[in-house]
Amino acid sequence: MPGTPTAVSAPGKVLLAGGYLCLDRQYTALVYGLSARINVVAQEIKTSPGVQLTEIVVDSPQFLEAQWRYGYHLTPEDGGIKVTQLQVGSNINPNPFVEVTLSYALTYITRTGHHQPTHAFAPAKFTILADNDYYSQPHSQAAGTARFAKFPTRLGDAHKTGLGSSAALVTSLTAALLTHYLPASAFDLSTDAGRRTLHNLAQAAHCAAQGKVGSGFDVAAAVYGSCLYRRFSPAVLQALPEAGQPGFAPALAACVDGDGWDTQIRAEGVRLPRGVALRMCDVDCGSQTVGMVKKVLQWREAAPGDAKQLWDELQARNAALGDLLGREAEAEADDRQLAADIASAVAAIRALIRDMGARSGVPIEPDSQTALLDALRDGVDGVYEGVVPGAGGFDALALLVRDDEDTAARVKEFLAHWGREKGGAVRLLDVKGEVEGVRRERLGEYVGWVS
C-alpha cells in the first residue's frame, strides 16, 4: 500500500534474431532479456500534519539535474489524469517517457474501482536507478565499480549502449506505480494477470511516448524476459485518444483489459545452452535507428517479391538458431560441436542481413562491424559468433561465447588492442543474457541512493 516503500526492476533486451522482421506479424523475433536492469523505488512523501501535497516526484540521482516534479489533475469528459511538470530551480527539463507513463498509469489506476476518479493520489517519490551498462560513460568518469555509478553528465547527454533503456524505464515505472497505489488484490506483479496488465499498459505508454506504434519486442522482454515474440496489430492502439482528451480514460481501460491484444509471447524454451553466455560489446557510436528502419521498409515496398523471399529465408534461419539454442539448453552438448553449430547458424543469418543491407542501402551490418565480429570469431578462443542485433548499425554487438572468466578476459584484451589499433572505444560490457523479466526487488539493493 502507499505507505510501504516498494522496489521493482525490468531488464534490458537484445534482439538476437528478427531485426526488421519483428515489424510484421507474419514473422517472429528471438529476444533475450539482459542482466542490466532499470530499477524504480517507490516511497511515500511524508508531509507535516495539516499540510496537503498533490505532487509526484521522479528522481534519477545518477545524473545531473535529473529530477522531475509533477502536479496532476483530472481532466473533463473522461479525459483521465493529466500531469503537469513543475519547475525545479530555474529549469524545466522535459522527459516525455516519464510524463506519458505517469499520465497513462495514473489514469488506469483511477479506472480500477480502487480509486475514485476524484481521489487525490498520496504524494510519492519514484527513484530511478539504471545499471551502468546502459551508458557508454568512460569508467574513469564514473564513481568506482559500484552497481550504480554517479555520472558527470545530464541524462540527455549520456551515450546509450542500445540495451533498451526507454522500454525498461516505462515498464519498471509503470509496475512501480501500479504496485504502489493499488492493493495486491487489484494488481500483483507475480501473477499472469498482473504481467498481462503491465504489458498492455506499458506498451500503450511506450508507443505514445515514442510518438509511434512500434513492434513492442523491447517492452515484451522487459515484462517477460527472454522470449519468442510476435508483435501485436498496430490497430490495437491506434484508436486511443491522447492523454487528457475526451474519452481517454475509458478507452485506455478498455484497451488494457480487453481481449483485442493479438501479440504472441512464448518464454518457455527460450534459453541458452549450458556453458554458453550472451555478452555485449559497446562500440560507443550509436545509430539513427528510425532512419534505418524507414529506408529498409521503403526498399521492401519497392521490391516486395525480392523482399518477401529474403525475409522468409531469414525467418527460417532465425527459427533454426532459436531451435538450436533451446534444444541444446536441455542437452549435454559436446563443446566443439556446439561451437560449430552456433557459428554455422549465426553465420547464415549474418549473410542474409548483409544481403538485405546491400539491397536496401542501409548499413545494417557496417563493414567495420563485420571486421570486428569476424576478428572476434576467428581470433579469440571461446567466441562462437556474434551479430549486430536489432536494427543493426553501430550499437552494441551481441556475442555468443563460452561462459567462463578466461574467455571474458581474452575478449577484453582483444577489444582493448582493437580499440588502440583502430582508434575507437570498444569494450566488453558486464551485462549477460538473462531469462527473467520484471520482478520485485529488496530495498537493501539501493542503500545509499534511497533514504
Q: Are strands 383-387 and 397-402 parallel, antiparallel or unpaired?
A: antiparallel
Q: Residues 184, 188, 194, 195: what is their CA dihedral angle, to the nearest 10 degrees?
A: 160
Which domains, from first to last, does the chain contain?
Answer: 6-268+441-446 (3.30.230.10), 276-434 (3.30.70.890)
For the chain, 451 residues long, give each residue's pLDDT as a single digit of tens.
556 799 999 999 999 999 999 999 999 999 999 999 999 999 998 765 554 567 899 999 999 889 999 999 999 999 999 999 987 766 778 899 999 999 999 999 998 865 544 456 888 999 999 999 998 765 444 445 678 999 888 888 888 888 889 999 999 999 999 999 999 999 999 999 999 999 999 999 999 999 999 999 999 999 999 999 999 999 999 889 999 999 999 999 999 999 999 999 999 989 999 899 999 998 865 555 668 899 999 999 999 999 999 999 999 999 999 999 988 777 766 788 999 999 999 999 999 999 999 999 999 999 999 999 999 999 999 999 999 999 998 878 999 999 999 999 999 999 999 988 887 778 999 999 999 999 999 999 899 898 7
pLDDT confidence of residue 285: 57
pLDDT confidence of residue 334: 75
**What CA–CA distance (Å, rounded) separates 130 from 160?**
11
Residue 166 CA neighbour count, 13 Å, CB half:
18
pLDDT confidence of residue 19: 94
| Phi and psi, residue 97, nearest 5° | -70, -40
Q: How far is CA 266 from the centre of its chain?
A: 17
| Phi and psi, residue 277, nearest 5° | -120, 150
The answer to whether 416 and 424 are in contact (CB under 8 A) is: no
**What CA–CA distance (Å, rounded) separates 127 from 187?**
21
Q: How far is CA 3 from the centre of its chain?
A: 29
pLDDT confidence of residue 136: 78
**Given phi > 0 = left and psi -120 to 50 = alpha, else beta, which region is 303?**
beta
Beta strands in 45-132 (DSSP E): 56-59, 67-74, 81-86, 124-130
408 Cβ contact partners less than 8 Å away, ≥ 6 residues apart: 279, 401, 428
Say how many C-beta atoms besides its own lie within 10 A of residue 241's C-beta.
Answer: 16
**SS3 at position 24:** coil
pLDDT confidence of residue 143: 45
C-alpha cell at 137: 560513460
Say how many C-beta atoms besides its own lie within 10 A of residue 212's C-beta.
Answer: 10
* pTM for the model: 0.93
What are the tens digits of pLDDT across the range 100-156?
999 999 999 998 865 544 456 888 999 999 999 998 765 444 445 678 999 888 888
**Given phi > 0 = left and psi -120 to 50 = alpha, else beta, which region is 308?**
alpha
**SS3 at position 122:** coil
The CA distances from residue 281 to 95, 285, 400, in Å, are 28, 12, 11
**SS3 at position 417:** helix
Q: Which of 94, 47, 110, 16 is nearest to 319 (CA)?
A: 16
C-alpha cell at 447: 542503500
**What CA–CA distance (Å, rounded) separates 158 from 166?**
13
**What CA–CA distance (Å, rounded) separates 352 from 341?**
17
Is the Cα dihedral 149, 151, 156, 161 positive or negative?
A: negative
360 Cβ contact partners less than 8 Å away, ≥ 6 residues apart: 295, 296, 298, 299, 300
**What CA–CA distance (Å, rounded) separates 178 from 183?**
9
**SS3 at position 401:** strand
